Structure 1
């Protein structure tokens, strides 16, 4: 994996648009739930979660002792539908203003993270407005892309202009090998759960070469 991504490439994945470096991974097992879709898509999403978690060397559980579930996927047609979900406004502060901003921006997806006292990820909400564009994306591709983007806290610019996925020679959509290597290295037990110093990227790049 040594030639797949440089130290600078790793650093860019976790350097935000404002220039700050921030990395975080899950500090607890993932407990996913899917709303607003059929059984087939539900199984595809959960399968994608299982595959990425297994690749990362992390874990899943039947329930989160604090939250019950901690990785929530919402599929819907209109942003206003979110304001009708019972108790969602309690889990997502300022839900109403957020929905208005997303509508104004014409967004079709949005991810929110919640963190524990140490700064590790403890929950994530994935919102997918199934407009004409997203509806054309195969369910397995959409699911994999979303799970990959929630398994660690990437920079807000990490995948602008380039997807974390790639097309294999036989036509199947897969996780880019360099991104997979970064995820596996991120969950190495010797690596910190949270990092705000760019020197973390050097350590991470060194681990990438070994996975």
Structure 2
């Protein structure tokens, strides 16, 4: 990946560059699944945090949990989750838009004053397509997609996961980019496209494995 590839991965539909990573340790919690799936998600978040060199924790001092994953069968179910409308602005409007679009997933973030990720919210609707995907693949995909503030089309050209020996694993190129993005020398957030050049330089100097 060169600078332009990286810049595209952190650009929105308007073409503006928006990079952000977590500063505080990630504290995930998953609602609406069985205990076995909870363990799968925790393992996926731990794996991606390990790649990033970032920490997980048991609790966040301000929020308790700062990465919340909600599974549902119908988007309307989210309106019945106590307090969710206090965490996600205009939840009713969001539910309406997701329903109209036929979407099966949504990710949203709250940010620190300087733009770093403060909290993340993942909403997943178990439609026929989502239900056909192994829990391990869903968990690892979502873990990758919340570790950074990616652009909407970040993984169109380069998928986040690859298959090795019949098992879905993190793409080596994506793993290297995540690792570079969490270099302590870099800022936690940036809207300057030249930030992509700094990421590119770190990729060029890092080992391929």
Q: TM-score range by the shorter chain?
A: over 0.9
Aligned to 1:12: 8
Residue equivalent to 2:160:
164
Alpha-carbon offset, residue 210 of structure 1: 2.8
2:55 paired with 1:95: no
Gaps of 5+ in 1: none
Q: Could you tell me how far apart the structure 2 residues matched to 1:10 and 1:19 are?
A: 13
Residues 127-206 of structure 1 correspond to what in structure 2 (within 5 A)? 127-160=123-156, 163-168=159-164, 170-206=165-201
CA deviation after TM superposition for structure 1 residue 38, in Å: 0.3
Q: Equivalent of 1:83, from 68, 79, 91?
A: 79
Unaligned ranges ≥5, structure 2: none
Please report the TM-score for the alignment, with normalisation by the length of structure 2: 0.96
Shift, 1:62, TM fit: 1.1
> What is the aligned partner in structure 1 of residue 119 from structure 2?
123
Distance in 1 of aligned mates of 2:203 and 2:26: 23
Displaced runs of 4+ in structure 1, greater than 4 A? Answer: none
Q: What residue in structure 2 maps to residue 53 of structure 1?
A: 49
Question: SS of the counterpart of 1:143?
Answer: helix
Cα distance between partner residues in 2 of 1:78 and 1:119: 32
**How many residues are matched?**
206
